[in-house]
Amino acid sequence: MRTPTDLADPRGRSLSAGRHPLTDLSLADPARIAQARTLAGWIAVIAEDRGLDERGVAAATGLGIEDVRAVLDGTVFMMPVSTLDRALRRLEGRPH
């Protein structure tokens, strides 16, 4: 989810409200999308290995059920990499 900070330019001024989020280069960055998909893939692999369903993944990662569905489906291009990294760390039992 985009915050008001995401909608500000470097000088602190608000960008046009009509601007589509996918035109923002920071969101459409192929490297960022690849990182998000990789993290989501690891979460899905570990969840499958442990026999976790959506609710089990949500409980283990701290993600909401809709976010878990996105992760398990691989549709994470709009999710922050930091959120996915934190979820993976929780699932693995590593400090975050």
pLDDT in tens, 57-69: 999 999 999 999 9
Q: Which residue has the tokens 């330019």?
A: 9
Confidence of residue 77 (pLDDT cuts 50, 70, 90): confident
Give tens-digit pLDDT for 21-37. 544 545 568 999 999 99
- Is 21 in contact with 78 (CB distance < 8 Å)? yes
pLDDT at residue number 10: 55
Distance of CA 26 to the CA centre of its chain: 14
- The domain 24-92 having CATH identifier 1.10.260: the answer here is yes
Percent helix / strand / coil, the chain, rounded to 5: 60, 0, 40
Tell me which residue has tokens 């026999």: 51
Distance CA 75, CA 89 (A): 20
Q: Where in the chain are the domains?
A: 24-92
- How much is the pLDDT for 11? 55
> pLDDT at position 91, please?
95
* Cα dihedral sign, 4-5-9-11: positive
**Cα–Cα distance measured from residue 27 to residue 75, given in angstroms and rounded to the nearest whole number:** 13
